[in-house]
Amino acid sequence: MTSLRSFQTEIDEIHHREAVKQRLQTLSEQGGLRELLLANDTGRARDLVASILTRRRGELVFRIGVRPAHDKLFAGGDLRDSDPPQGVPRMAEEVDILCARIAEVVDELGGKTSALYKISDGPPRAALLLRLPPPSVALTPEVRCAVVGNVDSGKSTTLGVLTRGALDDGRGRARVSLFRHKHEIESGRTSSVGMEILGFGSSGEPILPLSSHANDPEAIRHERMSWEAISIQAAKIVSFIDLAGHERYLKTTLYGLTSGAPSCVILIVGANAGLIGMSKEHLAIALALSVPVVVCITKIDMTPLNKLAETIKQVTKILKSPGCRKTPVFVKTMEQAVEISEVFAKQRLCPIFQLSNVTGQGLDFLRTFLNLLPPSEGDTEKFTADQALEYCVTEVWSVPYVGTVVDGIVNSGRLKAGDAIVFGPDSNGKFESTAIKSIQRKRAPVNSAEAGQCVSLALKRVRRAAVRKGMVIVHKTDAPPPRAVRQFEGQVLILYHNTTLQKNYQAMLHCGAIRQTVRILSMDHPQGVLRTGDRATVTFEFISHPEFLKEGMKLLFREGKTKGLGVVTKLL
């Protein structure tokens, strides 16, 4: 455990150094831009804005005045980033002039400027969102967020309020529109992986349906904008993977977390119940997969103050514990929401939002935070555009008059409609060839897709039974297709097991979109058995059929309460 922690600390240090370097470059660019604007040199200012926005995927938070150091602004205790206050002091008149001139420059480029916050109390300062509308749906930035939490913590209600705009009535009216099955409406519990999207326009405003405030559950369910309508209007899309909270559906939740490649996990905690049951399980899985965590404490309107204080104390204690090593930051101002959105993942901060879906308290801070999150496809460590195509299948459907349609994520490379491809491996480890008939992104037709994007592909003359979750799609070339493996080695850490793990032990393995039972063939542990906390190199074998794996992929295996975490080190 100590060696794992020291390794994680080294990685954090490298990330931190790179983040500081990037931030200093951004600050110097923005400093030059501010001077050009004050000198009223709009020509050069326009060229510089165009250059910055192109490099930053059409979006920039432009800050004016001195902003407080992060350790003071977040007041979260021991922050590693204790830099001095940044920026140049400005008079209130200068702030107004800079706001007006940058808005003119961005308007000339065809973009929009919106004020995130403007503060005159203390040193005058402001932050503006500069955003260019994307040329097409294919290039719209997307942020993927997995939503987890215990049963009845308010996951579906919070998503319903965020994506539909209308507040809840205190009896779950907002969540009805999210349920996909009749038994979900009757029980009030999510049992499947649902996907909801929230679009933000060029001006930063959420794209919401015109609410009719109907009371009939069926009317509420159909009171929604189509994904295509949202995609066409949106300059940024936030996709929520709504996962099940009940213990019975843990495998569904695990699959959503490993296959969806989320940028962050939103952990919903009911203020009236605290961090209980499956919430702890979900938090542990998110930490094991190294996905940044955001906590939303819901139901604050109906929870007594003493119980709310107890829940806050419990959440803070768990986040600060040696297992989590997160610095909790309670977001109570718009400035905090804006500043933490860019740095929380790199600095091991955990933003905490206190929400009421009935009164609307705290929802504006959460929406602003989501609006400013860096796009998932911008993560160059996970997704590489300059490599060969690798598309991972996470869902399969048979659509009338279209044929077999697969949904998944482009892990590397690019693809376009008409490309010749191979998909597999099948039960014998072979790959079959076909072509891409058409591509859709958020149900809107597109001609191409690039690394990091989640798209659906219609495949030419392929039977539904021939494709399954966990398969990969690559370009058809003269080179042999990727190799499927049945056996592989992994470096694993046993997180929990109540007795001992021995040879021939079987467990369910989750690795990306792969979900299959594996058997332990051998382990290099001196005693030949593994207990809680042990680390070892273990040889695994897939029980059913070979799969496509790569060295370095994270794996998670479970069976009952047993859990292990690891990384693929060798393909056999």
For residue 494, pLDDT beyond 80: yes
Task: Give pLDDT, residue 80.
Answer: 47
For residue 36, give the 3-state DSSP assignment: helix
Instruction: Look at 5-19, 230-244, 263-277, 493-507 and tell me which has the smallest mean pLDDT.
Output: 5-19
Task: Give pLDDT, residue 510.
Answer: 93
Q: At what angle do helices 42-55 and 92-108 cross, to 10 degrees?
A: 70
| Residue among 135, 64, 68 nearest 102 (CA) | 64
Task: Give pLDDT, residue 306.
Answer: 95
Report the distance separating Cα 299 and Cα 357, nearest Å. 7
CATH of range 137-378; options 2.60.120.560, 3.40.50.300, 3.40.50.410, 3.20.20.70: 3.40.50.300
With bands split at pLDDT 50, 70 and 90, how would you rate the model's confidence at 206? very high
Q: Could you read off the pLDDT of 350-396 as tens digits, one per residue?
A: 999 999 999 999 999 999 999 999 998 888 888 988 899 999 999 99
Q: Label residue 315 exposed, middle or buried (CB < 10 Å: 0-12, 13-18, 19+).
A: buried
For residue 82, pLDDT beyond 60: no
Task: Give pLDDT, residue 186.
Answer: 46
Residues 39-45: contacts with CB under 8 Å, at least 24 apart = 40/101, 42/101, 42/104, 42/105, 42/108, 45/101, 45/102, 45/105
Q: What percent of the chain has pLDDT over 70?
A: 85
What are the tokens at 251? 């495998």
Which helix (H) or strand (E) segment is 25 a member of?
Answer: helix 2-38
With bands split at pLDDT 50, 70 and 90, how would you rate the model's confidence at 171? low
Q: How many CA atoms lie within 13 A of 531 on its CB side?
A: 3
For residue 173, pLDDT beyond 70: no
Which helix (H) or strand (E) segment is 45 a member of?
Answer: helix 42-55
Task: Give pLDDT, residue 10.
Answer: 60
Task: Give pLDDT, residue 385.
Answer: 87
With bands split at pLDDT 50, 70 and 90, how would you rate the model's confidence at 69? confident
Q: CATH homologous superfamily for 390-475?
A: Translation factors (2.40.30.10)
Task: Give pLDDT, residue 26.
Answer: 52
What are the tokens at 203? 């001006």
For residue 185, pLDDT beyond 50: no
For residue 254, pLDDT beyond 90: no
Task: Give pLDDT, residue 219.
Answer: 52
Q: How many CB atoms lie within 10 A of CB 448?
A: 18
For residue 456, pLDDT beyond 90: yes
Report the distance separating Cα 125 and Cα 118, nearest Å. 6
For residue 232, pLDDT beyond 70: yes
Report the distance separating Cα 516 and Cα 117, nearest Å. 49
Domain ranges of the chain: 12-131, 137-378, 390-475, 487-571
Task: Give pLDDT, residue 451.
Answer: 93
Does this chain's domain 390-475 share its CATH topology with 487-571? yes
For residue 427, pLDDT beyond 70: yes
Q: Could you read off the pLDDT of 301-330 as tens digits, one per residue?
A: 999 999 999 999 999 999 999 888 899 999
Is cis: bond before 133, omega within 30 of 0?
Answer: no
Q: What is the mean pLDDT of the chain?
A: 85
Region 95-113 average pLDDT: 91
Task: Confirm if 58 and 46 have CB atoms less than 8 A apart.
Answer: no
With bands split at pLDDT 50, 70 and 90, how would you rate the model's confidence at 212? very low
For residue 399, pLDDT beyond 90: yes
Region 21-40 average pLDDT: 66
Task: Give pLDDT, residue 28.
Answer: 61
Collect all residues with Cβ–Cβ distance below 8 Å to 31 and sequence separation of at least 6. Answer: 88
Task: Give pLDDT, residue 75.
Answer: 67
Task: Give pLDDT, residue 11.
Answer: 54
Instruction: Look at 164-173, 203-212, 487-496 and tell me which has the smallest mean pLDDT.
Output: 164-173
Classify strands 293-298 and 349-354 as parallel, antiparallel or unpaired.
parallel
Q: Quote the pTM value.
A: 0.87
Region 23-49 average pLDDT: 73
Report the distance separating Cα 203 and Cα 130, nearest Å. 8
Task: Give pLDDT, residue 280.
Answer: 86
For residue 100, give the 3-state DSSP assignment: helix
Report the distance separating Cα 261 and Cα 298, nearest Å. 25
For residue 5, pLDDT beyond 90: no
For residue 56, give the 3-state DSSP assignment: coil
Task: Give pLDDT, residue 44.
Answer: 86
Report the distance separating Cα 236 and Cα 142, nearest Å. 6
Q: Which amino acid is at 58?
A: G
For residue 192, pLDDT beyond 90: no
For residue 52, pLDDT beyond 50: yes
With bands split at pLDDT 50, 70 and 90, how would you rate the model's confidence at 193? low
CATH of range 487-571; options 2.30.30.100, 2.40.30.10, 2.40.37.10, 3.40.50.1400: 2.40.30.10
Task: Confirm if 363 and 162 have CB atoms less than 8 A apart.
Answer: yes
Q: Could you read off the pLDDT of 497-556 as tens digits, one per residue?
A: 888 889 999 999 999 999 999 999 999 988 889 998 889 999 999 999 999 999 999 999
Report the distance separating Cα 285 and Cα 291, nearest Å. 9
The DSSP result for 332-399, as a single string, is -SHHHHHHHHHHTTTTTEEEEEE--TTT-TTHHHHHHHHHHSPPGGG-TTT-BTTS--EEEEEEEEEE
Region 224-230 average pLDDT: 83
β partners of residue 474 = 422
Report the chain's C-alpha Rg in angstroms.
Answer: 24
Alpha-carbon distances, residue 259 vs 124, 289, 521 (angstroms): 45, 11, 26
Region 413-441 average pLDDT: 94
